[in-house]
Amino acid sequence: MSEQSRAGFRFKPYEKPFQTPFEVLFEVFKELIVHTSGDFDEAIDWLRELDTEYKLSTPDYSIDDFIEDLKKKGYIQEDIGANGEKGTRITAKTERVIRQAALDQIFGKLKKAGSGNHKTKSKGHGDEHTGDKRAFQFGDSIDKIDLTESIKNAQINNGVDGFKLTENDLVVEETQLKAQMSTVLMIDISHSMILYGEDRITPAKKVAMALTELITSRYPKDTIDILVFGNDAWTIPIKELPYLQVGPYHTNTVAGLQLAMDILRRKRNTNKQIFMITDGKPSCVRERNGDYYKNSNGLDSYITDKCYNQAAQARKLHIPITTFMIASDPYLQQFVNKFTKANQGKAFYTGLKGLGEMIFEDYENNRKKRIR
């Protein structure tokens, strides 16, 4: 009598995938170039120090060889600076690779499970798959049938000897009608984003790069604009995200909100939203005469009241604001609670670790069509 085979798991020691010396160094280089805001020379200096400590290069492949390969592969190029001195800068190809790496790093592990994670009251004919499965019902479109799951059911229910597929075996995948979404992502670049020994701007940059890459690749009909705010607010192109730096700025939340709403007013999409990443309370507004009113002590009602007015104005325009607090400042939490109430939006205290996952989940949920 032959021994019956049993299904189960087989465990073995983890074997790291093979990487060439260039690939090993390139993975580290992509991280460093974001931390140094696109400064190639500084990134290479850091890479040399890490190589000394962790032996990233090999006797046959040095850091200088790596730099030559970066040139050959089109990741860097020679550049003449404003002062006429020669230098090296990363190319548009590298900028794309960095955004893709950020997407893989932050959102890559957030693939849908078989049961799906969308909470919705109604489902039906739509243009996007949710990942949810259910039994076939009369009237379901044939193109919604999940053949793989249906065949699997047929084998389980009817055996594999004489293949037989019945209506009871059929499984369909849920779809959901989702409207196009216009998003403005506001990033605080005030000085506090690098204070107290904590680098908050680099995770914020990574999230911004990942979100832009996600939208442009997965939801090409959606739009995303990035703006930064310190003493003032201004938009930045997606390609400039790796070079983003903080400055000696206060936090002019009002200027950021005004610019965000101006951008969204020009969008045709029905669904509009603002994501705001900040680590501090508002501390600055610009007066009509161009002067700045600044106060970093506590909550200044002159400043916060203007913020609450902007939040209420966004609500009238059907623009929800989601605030992601990446610091546990009690003044910030006090402000955000009242700010969120004025807008009827949402607020999360995420810290830096969960920022990407939280923004991804909120973006997915907000894309569901809102009926007004």
Give the percent of the chain with pLDDT over 90: 49
Q: Which two tokens stand for residue 54?
A: 């962790």
pLDDT, position 4: 59
Q: Which residues pair with 172 in a beta bridge?
A: 134, 145
> For the chain, which residues make up each domain, given as ranges?
21-90, 128-176, 181-366
Q: Which two tokens stand for residue 268?
A: 């045709």
Of 114-128, 132-146, 228-242, the range with the lowest mean pLDDT is 114-128
Return the SS3 of 2.
coil
Quick one: angle between helices 40-54 and 63-72, nearest 10? Answer: 140
- Total residue count of the chain as it appears in this document: 372
Q: Is pLDDT larger for residue 6 or for residue 30?
A: 30
pLDDT band with cut points at 50, 70 and 90 for residue 372 = very low
pLDDT band with cut points at 50, 70 and 90 for residue 103 = confident
Return the SS3 of 185.
strand
Q: Is pLDDT larger for residue 64 or for residue 178?
A: 64
Please report how many Cα atoms fall inside a 13 Å half-sphere around the Cα of residue 213, on the Cβ side.
24
Q: Are 40 and 90 in contact (CB under 8 A)?
A: yes
pLDDT band with cut points at 50, 70 and 90 for residue 301 = very high
CATH 3.40.1390.10 is right for the domain spanning 181-366: no
Could you read off the pLDDT of 336-362 as tens digits, one per residue? 999 999 999 988 877 667 777 778 778
Q: Are 185 and 225 in contact (CB under 8 A)?
A: yes
Q: Sign of torsion, CA 130 134 136 140?
A: negative
pLDDT band with cut points at 50, 70 and 90 for residue 44 = very high
**pLDDT at residue 137 tops 60:** yes
If 0-12 CB within 10 Å is exposed, 13-18 middle and 19+ buried, where does residue 9 land? exposed
Amino acid, single-letter form, for residue 171 = V
- The pairs formed by 343-348 with CB atoms below 8 angstroms and a separation of 24 or more are 343/311, 343/312, 343/314, 343/315, 344/315, 344/320, 345/311, 345/314, 345/315, 345/320, 345/321, 346/320, 346/321, 346/322, 347/322, 347/323, 348/322, 348/323, 348/324
**pLDDT at residue 263 tops 70:** yes
pLDDT band with cut points at 50, 70 and 90 for residue 142 = confident
pLDDT band with cut points at 50, 70 and 90 for residue 115 = very low
159 CB neighbour count, 10 Å cutoff: 10
Question: Mean pLDDT over all residues of the chain?
Answer: 84
Q: Are 248 and 172 in contact (CB under 8 A)?
A: no
